[in-house]
Structure 1
């Protein structure tokens, strides 16, 4: 190990036993003018080792150091390849593994969110239109719908046009004037309180109005009947002769004897009601029959939201039957078993993929105008508590024409592209929500402006 050397041979101390001056060539000390400043230290050709260096050198002379691993030198050769291209874990200078840092994912996410917010702000109208098309609503759809009071007389104007929104399972009433209509027939009463009429007291007339409302509810608002079930409760309320005709129609439906003239029903293979609450609007009036009896007049429109059944698409593509046209302007038959003119929707839309909650739905409207007669029991052989028809007429909007199997068959917008044309569709376009006029009496297949 090198050590520091004197710059020149050190002269003898020069101190003679007799105490004379130092000896030398000229009697001068060579270190007399030496200054140990910073310049002298930095210019030294030989450096003194640190104390720790000398200590470790002495220790490693007898006990060589051991490589703890984790660090490599240029003499170790190429690093071995890792399986599956995994990187070696980083280590600190002492060989201890450092914890891995998780990838920074927040910054890209914040950038994407910021871009989305900016794009939405720049195209608010486009975003609203997309939402309305998909859900049939808008940002204010959660606001409560203004209820419509039960009618007591024919209206003077048709309901205003609503924004055309595609109804879905989540929003079956979107775009319909019926969204605020009542859901129960019990809220409807004659404009004037029932009074004594003919041989019946005021209370008896009120009971007759109640019986009529119960019958209309059993035939048009019972969820089991609307879903295609047998209307046992309604059949039990009919007079014997009318019940026999209705049961015959249920057993063997035909154009002359169609059960839908009495009952609102859908085939679950084709159309499934959405929920068990339907909406209606109409009015009731009472008068004497001139023979000491009572006539109860009713005019109600029932609206049913439905979604496609398992066979709806196949039925839409099936060819439609044709029939010889009837006499021009021929009135539709009335009374029990009367036929009705079905109509088809217009403005069919482009189909989209159905998803849960967003499945497109349709609505079918049934308007029933009927007069119920309560005879004077002293003059006529009648059963108390039974329904007797004086007249009965029905009109259906959005049900396949010329199908007399005892069910309504609505048409759905998502199958419009595959919809087979109907050769019998030749009637005029009408608004089924316009209750200011009676329905068209001709038995033709027309179109509706909205449903």
Structure 2
């Protein structure tokens, strides 16, 4: 159906034009709603590792006058039309959802020369180029220019926390910390504990916000980290601009042994991280210019370790196995079609790791 035909259909449906379809019954609408919200095959029952703090918020869709009629008859067209009108929102790319069983085989295994071979990330952009930033519009206490700056700084935070080579080598994430409101007592205490030499606990694990590898255990294969994700925003509490960053990072790593050469084993550690930042009105919230308050964060890790928190991702070099036989214990880490788990969890595996169907 073309855009012109779709627009004419909506107008005729609301106006009651002759020949317009009859409004479906309540039972029909309920059945259609169940069909639209049916979880896809392969939905993960639990992530291999997850962490969350605070309360996450997710934005609903757009309601229109003809929604009850159109949603039952043409749900896909209505979702496309509504998604384009959602302020600051972007829909996940179609190829992110799981489809056919992923191909496997020796010819698709990653190598030092081609670390993304056999992975959906082979077609992703590198660095911040893979993070989509929406058009800025005046929201809350900010005008369009200020919203644009908040979006850029939110992307900068994700880059400083997940892409900075020094942070990946385990160094202190100075740039990321500098973007956080220093007046948040709980966040300040978390950072102090997480970045101290002491062993972390599940609640003070630096991996909750920052990607780190032990330099004596793993190193990047090459200098490119592939990413896919987006920023969205809305008006938050007290007129703040609340930015949600949902980004998947794919880190190809090799053992840090000095003799690791072209034939070294390559493991891809896949990290999907969601961070919610509140850019507050300084007239209403105690903050510092250019900094944001941390609202919440969520984490999902594949090939990053399943033991208790160490403060570093631990790629499973030299290990192999069939993993759980139950299909319910298998996940697709590239499936971005659903939000991250919003239940309480810890940075260590809570209940054991599931097996990824691909990496």
TM-score (norm 1): 0.52
Who is 1:448 aligned against?
356
- 1:186 deviates by 4.9
- 1:163 deviates by 4.7
Aligned 8 A contact 1:194 1:206 in 2: yes
Residues 25-74 of structure 1: CA deviation (Å, up to 9, x unaligned)? xxxxxxxxxxxxxxxxxxxxxxxxxxxxxxxxxxxxxxxxxxxxxxxxxx
Local SS of the residue matching 2:191 = helix
Residues 358-406 of structure 1: CA deviation (Å, up to 9, x unaligned)? 2221000110112111122211111121131111111111122123110
CA distance in 2 between counterparts of 1:155 and 1:364 reads 21
Local SS of the residue matching 2:253 = strand
Q: Does 1:247 align with 2:192?
A: yes
Q: Does 1:236 align with 2:141?
A: no
User: Which protein, 1 or 2, shows the higher relative CO under an 8 Å CA cutoff with sep ≥ 6?
Assistant: 2
Who is 2:290 aligned against?
385
Q: Does 1:405 align with 2:310?
A: yes
Who is 1:154 aligned against?
92
CA distance in 1 between counterparts of 2:144 and 2:129 reads 18
- 1:153 deviates by 2.2
CA distance in 2 between counterparts of 1:183 and 1:401 reads 27
Question: Structure 1 residues 280 and 206, CA, compared in 2 at 3 Å: closer, same or farther?
Answer: same
Question: Structure 1 residues 190 and 415, CA, compared in 2 at 3 Å: closer, same or farther?
Answer: closer
Residues 273-323 of structure 1: CA deviation (Å, up to 9, x unaligned)? 112210100111111115221111111000000001349xxxxxxxxxxxx
Who is 2:80 aligned against?
none
Give the counterpart of 1:222 among 156, 164, 168. 164
Aligned 8 A contact 1:280 1:303 in 2: yes
Local SS of the residue matching 1:392 = strand
Who is 1:180 aligned against?
123
Local SS of the residue matching 1:215 = helix
Q: CA RMSD in A?
A: 2.8
Who is 1:60 aligned against?
none
CA distance in 2 between counterparts of 1:175 and 1:210 reads 32
Aligned 8 A contact 1:196 1:205 in 2: yes
CA distance in 1 between counterparts of 2:260 and 2:297 reads 41
Local SS of the residue matching 2:238 = coil
Who is 2:211 aligned against?
264
Who is 2:338 aligned against?
437
Who is 2:235 aligned against?
288
- 1:152 deviates by 3.5
Aligned 8 A contact 1:186 1:213 in 2: no
Residues 248-269 of structure 1: CA deviation (Å, up to 9, x unaligned)? 1121311221000011001122
CA distance in 2 between counterparts of 1:407 and 1:310 reads 17
Local SS of the residue matching 1:406 = coil
Residues 62-121 of structure 1: CA deviation (Å, up to 9, x unaligned)? xxxxxxxxxxxxxxxxxxxxxxxxxxxxxxxxxxxxxxxxxxxxxxxxxxxxxxxxxxxx
Q: Number of matched residues?
A: 253
Aligned 8 A contact 1:296 1:372 in 2: yes
Who is 1:49 aligned against?
none
CA distance in 2 between counterparts of 1:384 and 1:293 reads 14
Local SS of the residue matching 1:291 = helix
Give the counterpart of 1:416 among 292, 295, 320. 320
CA distance in 2 between counterparts of 1:434 and 1:308 reads 27
- 1:184 deviates by 2.5
Within a 5 Å distance, the mapping from 1:124-143 to structure 2 comes to: none
Q: Does 1:305 align with 2:210?
A: no
Question: Structure 1 residues 427 and 410, CA, compared in 2 at 3 Å: closer, same or farther?
Answer: farther
CA distance in 1 between counterparts of 2:149 and 2:336 reads 27
For structure 1, which runs of at least 5 residues remain unmatched after alignment?
1-150, 312-353
- 1:439 deviates by 3.4
CA distance in 1 between counterparts of 2:328 and 2:201 reads 22
TM-score (norm 2): 0.64
- 1:159 deviates by 5.6
